[in-house]
Structure 1
Amino acid sequence: MSRQLIFAIRRLLLTIPMLIVMSVVVFLILRLVPGDPVRTMLGFRATDANVAELRHQLGLDQPLLTQYVNWILALLQGDLGKDIVSHAPLADLLAQRLPVTLELTALSMLLAVVIGVPLGIRAATGGRWTKRLTEGFVIFGISIPDFWLGIMLVLVFAGTLTILPPSGYVPFAKDPVANLRYMILPVLTLAAGEAAYILRTTRSAITSVLDRPFVTFLRAKGISRNRIVFGHALRNAGPAIVTVIGLQVGVLLGGAIIVETMFALPGIGRLVVTGINQRNYPTVQVGVLAIATIFIVVSLVTDLIVAWLDPRVADGETT
C-alpha cells in the first residue's frame, strides 16, 4: 500500500471525529444563546402551560445529552427535522438553499483564483511598479469589509449606473443570463478579499521558489524565464497556493452569510440569519452543520490534492 493511499485513508478517518466535535459545538453553542425559542414562537401573551406543552413537543424539556443523541440519530437516518416556525421539512429547505450558496461560493472562488494567481505570479516576477500596484490591491482587498464593498458596488452599479440589479435571485436553470446578472455584485463582493489573500500567498510562494539553487542552475542552462516560472516555480509553489485556496473557502462560506442577507439571496446563510432571529434551533443547527460540513469536506480534498502535488506531505504523515 502506497504512502499516499495510507495518508488518504488516515485523513478520511480523521474527518469522522472532526464532524462529531463540530456537531457537539454547534449543538451546545445554540443552547447557550440567550432567549427562549418557545416564547419567541408563541409571543409575549403565551401562558406557562402553552410554553411547557410546546417545549415538550419539541423535546426541549429533555436533558441536553438526550436532545443531542436524538438529534444525531435522526440525522443518521436522514431526518433533518422541521422548521419550528414554518413547519417545513428542513431537508426540503436545505435542498432549495444549498445550490444558491454553492453557486455563490464557487463563482467567488473561481474569480478570486483567476485574479489572484496571475497577479501573484506577476508580482513575484515583475518590476517595481508592478509590485507596488499589486501590494496596493492586497492592502485594499484585505482591509475593506465585505459589507462596505457590497454597499459601494450597489450604489455604483445599481444606483448610479443602473446596469445591474441591487438584489434578488433567479435560478440558473430558469434564466442563465438573469442568474449571472443577479450574481455579479455578490460574487465581486466576496471575491475581492479572497483574491488579495491568494495573490499574497502566490507571490510569496513563487518568490521563495525562485530563490532556490535549482532555479539558478536552470538559468545557467539558458532555460527561458517563462519556462522556469510556469514549468518549475509554479509547480513547486502549487501546494502552498492550493492550501490557501482551501482555507479561504471557509472564509467565503462565512462571508456568504452576510452577502446573502445583503443581496437577498435565498441561500443557507440567509436561512441561518433568519433562524437566529427567530431562535429557531433546528433550522440554525442544520444550516450551520451544512456549512461546517462543506468546509470540512473541502479541507479534506485540499489535503489530498496537496499530498498528490507534494509526496513529502504523505511521507511526513506516515513516518
Structure 2
Amino acid sequence: MLGFLTRRVLSAVVLVFVIASVTFGLLQLTGGNPARSIVGQNATAQQEAQKAAELGLDRPLLTQYLDWVAGLLRGDLGTSWFTGQPVSATLADALPVTMSIVLAGLLLSAVVSVLLGVAAAVRGGWLDRVLQVVSVLGFAVPSFLVALVLALFVAVRWGLLPATGYTSLTEDPAGWLRTITLPALALAVGAIAATAQQVRGSMLDVLRRDYVRTLRARGLADRSILFRHALRNAAPPALTVLSLQFIGLIGGAVVVEKVFGLSGIGTAALSTAAQGDQPVVLGIVVVTVVLIAAVNVLMDLAHGWLNPKVRV
C-alpha cells in the first residue's frame, strides 16, 4: 500500500508542476503590459520602466520562471502586483469560502446519490423512472440558474436563508451553515444527477452477479447484502465520478459565488485575471491543482482499499 501511495503522490507532484509551468507560459502570451496598467496610461515611459524593473519584468523570461519556481518550492507564492499583498494572504481569505461550498456540495451529492442510486436499483419501477427524468433535468439545468431560483424563492421570497454574504465557521458555526447551504445546493444538483445514475448502474450490475445470489441463498439479510457487499463492489465507479465532480464543482463555484455575493477563489480569479495580476492568477492555479490532485490521491486510496487489485 505504501508503494501505491508513493506512486500516486509522485504523479500528483508532476501534474502540479506541469500545469503550473504551462500556465506561466500561457500568461506570457496574453500580450498585456502590467507595468503600464499599474502606473496608469498617463505615466511617462520612465515611470513605466521603473515599475517594470521593480516587478522584475525587465529580466529574461527564463530567469523570471526560475525565480518563481524557486519561490514556489519554498512555499512563497509571490506578491500581488496591484495590491502589494502576499498571494498567500489573498488565498487564505478566499479559499475557505470556496472550499466550504464545494466540499458541502460534494458531501451532499455523495450521500443523496448513494441513497437515490441504491433505491432506484433495488426498487425499480416508478422510482427508477423518476431518477432518469431528474438526472436529465440535472444535466440540462446550469448551476447558475439553480442558484438564481434558490436565491429568489428560498432567500428573498420566503426568507429562510440569507441570499448573500459569508460567515466564517470559527466565528459562528450556525451562521456558516446558513450561508453555505444555498450555494452548496446549487452546486450539488448537477453532481447528484451524474453520480446517482452511476451508482444505479453499478448496483444493477453487481446485484446480477452470482455471489449475490449465493449470499441470498445462505439467508443473509437484504440490508447486509446491499450495504456490506454489493455497495462496496459498486463504489469504485461512483468514486471516479465523484472525483471528476469535484473539478466541476470548483468550476461551477465561479458563477455561484457571483450569484450569492461570496468572495471566494472564483471571484478572485476573475478579478485578478481581468487586471493581469500574474502572481495571484498563478497562485490560484497552483492551489486549485494541488486540491484536485489531493482529492484524486484520496480517491485512488479509496479504490485501493475497496479493490486490492488496483494497488498493483
Range class of TM-score, shorter chain: over 0.9
Matched residues in 1 for 2:159 and 2:52: separation?
49
Q: For 1:194, which of 172, 184, 191 is the aligned residue?
A: 191
For residue 289 of structure 2, what is the aligned residue in structure 1?
292
Give matches, 1:74-89, under 5 Å. 74-89=71-86
Tell me, yes or no, if structure 1 residue 205 matches structure 2 residue 217.
Answer: no
For residue 234 of structure 1, what is the aligned residue in structure 2?
231
Q: For 2:265, which of 268, 271, 282 is the aligned residue?
A: 268
Question: What's the offset of the Cα at 1:252?
Answer: 1.4
Question: What's the offset of the Cα at 1:113?
Answer: 1.2
Q: Write out per-residue CA displacement over residues 19-46 of structure 1, whole angstroms, 9 at most, x where no aligned residue.
A: 2101112212222235332232233223
For residue 104 of structure 2, what is the aligned residue in structure 1?
107
For residue 131 of structure 1, what is the aligned residue in structure 2?
128
SS of aligned partner of 2:28: helix
Gaps of 5+ in 1: none
Q: Contact 2:20–2:285 at 8 Å: present in 1 too?
A: no
Q: Contact 1:26–1:289 at 8 Å: present in 2 too?
A: no
- What TM-score do the two structures reach when normalised by structure 1? 0.92
Q: For 2:53, which of 43, 56, 71 is the aligned residue?
A: 56
Q: CA RMSD in A?
A: 1.7
The aligned amino acid for 2:221 is: S
The aligned amino acid for 2:96 is: P
Q: Contact 2:272–2:281 at 8 Å: present in 1 too?
A: yes
- What TM-score do the two structures reach when normalised by structure 2? 0.94
How many pairs align? 312
SS of aligned partner of 1:52: helix
Question: What's the offset of the Cα at 1:302?
Answer: 1.0
Tell me, yes or no, if structure 1 residue 281 matches structure 2 residue 259.
Answer: no
Matched residues in 2 for 1:200 and 1:38: separation?
51
Matched residues in 2 for 1:239 and 1:6: separation?
20
The aligned amino acid for 2:246 is: V
Q: Contact 1:39–1:51 at 8 Å: present in 2 too?
A: yes
Give matches, 1:1-319, under 5 Å. 4-315=1-312
Change in CA separation of 1:100 and 1:57 when aligned onto 2, cut-off 3 Å? same
Deviates most, 30-39 or 76-85: 30-39
Q: Write out per-residue CA displacement over residues 151-201 of structure 1, whole angstroms, 9 at most, x where no aligned residue.
A: 111111223223222211111221222222211111111111111121011
Matched residues in 2 for 1:110 and 1:50: separation?
51
Matched residues in 2 for 1:85 and 1:245: separation?
37
Matched residues in 1 for 2:123 and 2:11: separation?
42
SS of aligned partner of 2:85: coil
Q: Percent identity?
A: 38
Deviates most, 169-178 or 286-295: 169-178
The aligned amino acid for 2:196 is: L
Q: Contact 1:157–1:164 at 8 Å: present in 2 too?
A: yes
Matched residues in 1 for 2:182 and 2:44: separation?
47
Question: What's the offset of the Cα at 1:261?
Answer: 2.5
Matched residues in 2 for 1:38 and 1:126: separation?
64
Question: What's the offset of the Cα at 1:76?
Answer: 1.5
SS of aligned partner of 1:32: coil
The aligned amino acid for 1:159 is: V
Question: What's the offset of the Cα at 1:222?
Answer: 3.6
Change in CA separation of 1:197 and 1:45 when aligned onto 2, cut-off 3 Å? same
The aligned amino acid for 1:168 is: G
